[in-house]
Amino acid sequence: MVTHTQQLPNRPITENINAVIDLPLKLIVSLVISVAVILSILAFVTSLPYPSSTLHTIITPTIDFINETKNITTIHVMVTDSSDNHPIEHGLVTIKGYNILAYNQTNRTGECIIPICIDRIEGINEFYLDVTIKVNGYERYIKENMIRILSP
């Protein structure tokens, strides 16, 4: 068995020597730009404000009755900062459920009044309303089935 090995000529891959130098340079530049972009995204994400505190709420009434002559109920809401009990102004209070959507903003004392008109449906004697409060810089307050409405 005879094997022949052929000697390849010793020549560069490309005739343009700048192409061989430019390739690693382009990779380094791309890497530096990628790192800069990732760092700027991380700086933006870490600078976002996180909710600093929770809300303390007082909602009255939590149980109310309606009948043929009374189909309007008024919900009183007071919102304060749970850490120092300062009133929260411009908090958006939303009450929804049972084909109802009502909302109002808290005033400078942290209070708001939300009147709700309820259409009675025959055969439904009890239903619940959910309460959501949104304030910038605070955790969102969500309480499902917070308000109970009874109908004889």
Look at residue 24 and tell me if it is in a domain.
Answer: no
pLDDT surpassing 80 at residue 108 = yes
Look at residue 16 and tell me if it is in a domain.
Answer: no
pLDDT in the model for residue 105 = 95
> For 131-135, what is the mean pLDDT?
93
> For 18-28, what is the mean pLDDT?
70
Look at residue 86 and tell me if it is in a domain.
Answer: yes
pLDDT surpassing 80 at residue 19 = no
- The domain total for the chain is 1
> For 137-141, what is the mean pLDDT?
86
Six token digits for residue 4: 């022949």
* Cα 65 from Cα 96, distance rounded (Å): 17
- The least confident of 34-43, 94-103, 119-128 is 119-128
Compute and round to an integer the Cα radius of gyration of the chain: 33
pLDDT in the model for residue 82 = 84
pLDDT in the model for residue 26 = 79
Q: pLDDT for 46-82, tens place per residue?
A: 776 665 678 888 888 888 887 777 788 889 999 998 8
pLDDT surpassing 90 at residue 94 = yes
Look at residue 145 and tell me if it is in a domain.
Answer: yes
Among candidate residues 80, 119, 81, the one with its CA nearest the CA of residue 98: 119
Look at residue 25 and tell me if it is in a domain.
Answer: no
CATH number, domain containing residue 80: 2.60.40.1940
Among candidate residues 76, 56, 59, the one with its CA nearest the CA of residue 141: 56
Among candidate residues 130, 124, 150, the one with its CA nearest the CA of residue 142: 130
pLDDT in the model for residue 104 = 94
**Model confidence at 36, in pLDDT bands (50, 70, 90)?**
very high
Look at residue 130 and tell me if it is in a domain.
Answer: yes
Q: Which one is predicted more confidently, 14 or 30?
A: 30
**Model confidence at 96, in pLDDT bands (50, 70, 90)?**
very high
Provide the residue range defining the domain that includes 77. 55-150
Look at residue 104 and tell me if it is in a domain.
Answer: yes
Look at residue 114 and tell me if it is in a domain.
Answer: yes
